[in-house]
Amino acid sequence: MPDLLTLAREAAGRAYAPYSGFQVGCALLTTQGEFFTGCNVENASYGLTICAERAAICQAVAAEGPGMKLAQIAVICLQSEFPPCGACRQVIAEFSLPGGVTEVTWVQKGTALTQPISALLPHAFSLP
């Protein structure tokens, strides 16, 4: 089985990040056992930038349909260390397993850290 952080690192190398200089990659595993990757794609109009996590999730939905669920997801930045941003946390929560148990991995202080999305976004927005 491929290592998600390794796949994320490979995806980060393909990022288009001429404005921030931060190359971010993401890799995920769906509950159907499929792997998808994505990288950040920046835009001069910053609000149009797509984060690596959302790029990978969109590919997974396009391949598996609206019922796609995330089993695991990993994100890495080649120039720094940080977890997914707030917008990405919300999108991850949208496609998480029930109860927010989908595991999210990133690198912090040189070590892989894994937490369920419910710990990263304890009060995710949802519609009734």
10, 34, 42, 53: which one is catalytic? Answer: 53
Contacts of 122 (CB under 8 A, 6+ apart): none
Is residue 53 annotated as a catalytic residue, yes or no?
Answer: yes
Sheet holding 111-116, edge to edge: 35-39, 24-30, 70-77, 103-108, 111-116
Q: How far is CA 53 from CA 25, 50, 128, in A?
A: 7, 8, 25
* Residues 6 or more apart whose Cβ sits within 8 Å of residue 69: 30, 31, 95, 96, 97, 102
Give catalytic residues, as residue numbers: 53
